[in-house]
Amino acid sequence: MDDEYRSRATIDDSEKSFKLLAGTKHYGQQFDTVYAARLNQLRPALLENAQEIWRKHKVPHVPRVLDVVKGHPCYIIGTVYMEMPLKANVLEDIAQDHALAMIPVQSKRTSDKDSIMLEDESGRVGLIGDALAKERLVTGVNIAVLGSETDSGEFQVEEVVYPGLAPPSHIFNATPNESSYCVFLSGLCFGEIASTSPETDPTLKPDRLAAVSLLLDWISGEGGSERDRELARRVSRVVIAGDSLAAPLIEDERDSSKVSSSANTSLRQAVISLGETLQEIARTVPLHVLPGASDPTGTALPQQPMPSWIFNPQGQLGGGSEALYMESNPTWVHSNGKGILVHSGQPLNDIYMHSVEDERMSMVRNTLKWRHIAPTAPDTLWSYPFDGQDPFVLDKTPDVYVIGNQPAFGTEMVGPTRVVLLPRFATQPLIVLVDMATLGVQTVEFGV
């Protein structure tokens, strides 16, 4: 497709709040500094909401959870901690160099023995009450609770208040021109598919490669119907939300005599194929690539950008290396005055494992009202031990919120935010187009 016909959106990628600057990585901090920073960031919003909602109750705010007086109604603010017998602890995982082997990936770790506590800098108090049952809490969420201390020393909760939606994203450089679309996809999964993936049938591989080929034709404007070509012309950028390379098979799933040669050959070919795909897309339209759980970068969130030379060791991308943006996970992307928040799925997947909630869109709605996209980090989700500020706190509500590598496609408006759940392209070859003017959504499938 001739570039003069390609939609051009206003781009501002100056915000890189999840990137760690070289020389600033220090792992000596304690993880409790993360919780302290998080609570300090969200306490003002919680206090404001609590005062507004509970003004009619005329009960005091007790600043420290351990200063509550038994039998005296009040409200307190703190961080949720879930005591869960089935919960795997990140620090234990690191020490043992193994996750809990008996708990399959993506299974629930909740049980009827779970209990809820609220903590702040003074200590921790147990929470009880029927009002908690509907709240679907996970460790790391900051809340205000109204109630009173019982004779047993627990806090009987009558009502819960959250920070609520953050202010809207800052609007800048918006262009009133024709609609432009951002294309989102995730889970290309070049290479072998681990047994924990929903897809294990090797006969599906040719169809996946054919779907990728159809995708490339579509983006370049050379495939599909006239309507498809018109949509492709309006695409201003493409965002790949993680897991571009597949997780390798674990050791006991291979013939050990073939591990070294076959694994290296498979990985090398996967990297080459992925690199060719990224280059072809970036020649046509700006491309943003986030790492995911199976991609070659650090495991701890925020995952830092993958080095582009891995996929193109021979030289620069055709059309200029500025066409390829290697992003962190999570990342903010800005287009036509819209703030787009994207991550590759690990935070939502971890919330799913540690919540009694089964509906993922409901969990996404919760993260927005919690003003936090990864509350279970660092308790059960690996993350960098930030000191002074938690970057996963939402100080603004995104216009578009995209989450990769989910079991199925889903979308809805949550307040002013267009939420999109992306399936893995390797198992459901589908892309999602979001109109940057209207936040309307369309999908294009590449079944073969």
Q: For the chain, what percent of residues have pLDDT higher than 70?
A: 78
Q: In whole angstroms, what separates CA 114 from the centre of its chain?
A: 25
> Residue 100: which pLDDT band, with cuts at 50, 70 and 90?
very low
pTM for the model: 0.88
Query: Could you tell me which residue, 3 or 424, shows the higher pLDDT?
Result: 424
Q: What is the pLDDT of residue 13?
A: 53
All structural domains of the chain with their residue ranges = 3-25+167-445, 32-161
Q: What distance lies between CA 206 and its chain's CA centroid?
A: 29
Residue 82 · residue 89 · CB < 8 Å: no
What confidence category does residue 18 fall into, taking pLDDT thresholds of 50, 70 and 90?
A: confident
* Average pLDDT score over residue span 381-389: 88
The gap from C-alpha 440 to its chain's centroid, in whole angstroms, comes to 21
Fold match flag (3-25+167-445 vs 32-161)? no
Residues 308-342: pLDDT tens digits? 888 765 544 444 456 899 999 999 999 888 999 99
Query: Cβ(422)–Cβ(403) under 8 Å?
Result: yes
Q: Ranked by mean pLDDT, which of 94-103, 119-128, 172-181 comes out on top?
A: 119-128
Mean pLDDT of 176-199: 74
Q: Is the peptide bond before 330 cis (omega within 30 degrees of 0)?
A: yes
CA distance 114 to 132: 12
CATH class of 3-25+167-445: alpha beta
For the chain, give the mean pLDDT.
Answer: 85
Q: Considering the domain 32-161, what is its CATH architecture?
A: Beta Barrel (2.40)
How far is CA 274 from each of CA 48, 152, 267, 297, 306, rounded to the nearest angstrom? 49, 59, 10, 15, 13
The answer on pLDDT for 401 being more than 60 is yes
Of 175 and 219, which is predicted with more confidence? 219
pLDDT of 11 reads 53
Q: What's the burial of 4, exposed, middle or buried (CB within 10 Å: 0-12/13-18/19+)?
A: exposed
Structure confidence by residue, pLDDT tens digits, 22-42? 545 555 555 678 999 999 999
Give mean pLDDT, residues 299-304: 95
